[in-house]
Amino acid sequence: MQYSTNGLALTEQFEACKLTAYRDSGGVWTNGYGNTHGVVPASTITQQQAVADLQKNIQTSVNDVNLLVSVQLTQGEFDALVDFDFNLGRGNLQKSTLLTDLNAGNFAAAAEQFDKWDRCNGTVLAGLLRRREAETKEFDGAS
């Protein structure tokens, strides 16, 4: 499957584009639309580089979801999982109860797992909670 325009809008909703490097809520150097690859303090990128990085990073998450999920998905379910992977990384998706439930065919239980990923360094972040709620809504086809 491929990421849809609705999925991309979901990611862009939560990933403001910043052309100058900054530390995200977890302390990781970031730029563009949530890009963490090769970012160093005080560096800047162009808008075109931010878009290119977003497309590359999204494709990595698309590949992750296509590889890790063994059940048939709707477009909304796929988009929600790609955004989840983009935000949290393959390792977190791979070890999650969300993925275990999903691959067991228990879609309802999988949907209930999104909001368990609303913390950074043990602290609930309102932005992460809003993102998980949006992913759940997309997953459930209610967007």
Amino acid at 71: V
User: What tokens were used for 68?
Assistant: 């890790």
Provide the pLDDT confidence category of residue 142 given band limits of 50, 70 and 90: confident
- Taking the C-alpha atoms of residue 14 and residue 72, their distance in angstroms, rounded to an integer, is 26
- Chain position carrying tokens 């950074």: 120
- pLDDT single digits (tens) 85-122: 999 999 999 999 999 999 999 999 999 999 999 999 89
Tokens describing residue 89: 């990384």
**Out of 15, 77, 135, 138, which one is annotated catalytic?**
15
Report the pLDDT value the prediction gives residue 143, as an integer from 0 to 100. 61
pTM of the predicted structure, to 2 decimals: 0.94
CATH class of 5-139: mainly alpha
Could you state, in order of their start, the residue ranges of all structural domains in the chain?
5-139
Residue owning tokens 């809520």? 25
Q: Label each residue of 113-134 as H, E or C.
A: CHHHCCEECCEECHHHHHHHHH
For residue 133, indicate whether it is catalytic. no
Mean pLDDT over all residues of the chain? 96
Summarize pLDDT for 26-37 with one digit per residue, the tens.
Answer: 899 999 999 999
